[in-house]
Amino acid sequence: MNRRRLHRSISLATLAAAVLLLAGLGERIALRSPDLGTAEAYHARIRALGEQLPEAIGPWQGEPAEVPRTAIELIKPNVLWARRFTHAHTGRDFTAVLVQCADARDLAGHYPRICYVNSGWHLKSAEDRTWHVEGQALEGVEYLFLSRRDNRFEQIVVLSFLFLPDAGTFRTIDQVYTAAEDRRRRPFGGGQVQVITEASLSAQERDEMLRLVARSLLPIVNHQASGESH
């Protein structure tokens, strides 16, 4: 093979290798790049599910719970469901909140360690918890907050868990940040569920309140980016 033909063969081989390399890169980029249209459809489905959330659950009568406007501006929710439930017979009550955001990072504005502390509450304790609902393990945290108002001490307990589509539940916002670093997952955002009760309630009562609410919220918590629920 003469020098010109050898040079041409090397050039063609180099070109072919470059084409294959670019094709491979393109395929990997396509796999990693988010489908914004699919994400928008997902958020629309979540909004539709949010509109179907119950106003009352069994003997628990619900009424809208106020959420500060500043908090709404911080979290920029796609879905915000907040209700105060009161038992028709015992008078026991609690507040339940579900927030779902198009950007999971916005959940920091509703994260108990940030939100309640910035509102004047002192974090007294935080305990990792796992609640089992409909055969599913929901990993979260039980927080105890203390506040002094009008020369009186007030205590509340916040049961909280975070969730991302196709990724399950999380205890901390740092775990959510880490999971949301996946570019394919990022456009689908994330959510958080909180149940707020008086500290005087027993642990069993609080857990039952969490399970009661979670059963109604599982269609949103488990809704996958593909459009399925598991």
Query: What mean pLDDT is predicted for residues 89-114?
Result: 95
Instruction: Please report whether residue 228 resides in a domain.
Output: no
Angle formed at CA 113 by CA 110 and CA 117, multiple of 5 degrees: 90
1 and 87 share one domain: no
Residue 161 and residue 99: Cα distance in Å, rounded? Answer: 11
77, 138: one domain: yes
Question: What pLDDT sits at residue 36?
Answer: 66
Residues 65, 13 within the same domain: no
**Residue 71, H or E segment:** helix 69-75
Percentage of the chain modeled with pLDDT above 70: 83
Establish if 49 belongs to a structural domain. yes
- Residue 48's pLDDT is 97
**Shared domain check, 165 and 57:** yes
Split into its structural domains, the chain has a count of 2
The Cα–Cα gap between 163 and 99 comes to 10
On whether residue 226 sits in a domain, the answer given is no
In a domain, 229, yes or no: no
Q: 42 is written with which tokens?
A: 């997902």
29 and 42 part of one domain: no
Q: Is the pLDDT of residue 196 over 80?
A: yes
Does residue 72 share a domain with residue 108?
Answer: yes
Do 147 and 128 meet the contact criterion of CB atoms below 8 Å apart?
no
Its domain, for residue 14, covers: 1-33
Closest CA to 164 of 141, 187, 196, 195: 187
Mean pLDDT to the nearest integer, 66-86: 91
In a domain, 188, yes or no: yes
Q: Are residues 11 and 125 in the same domain?
A: no
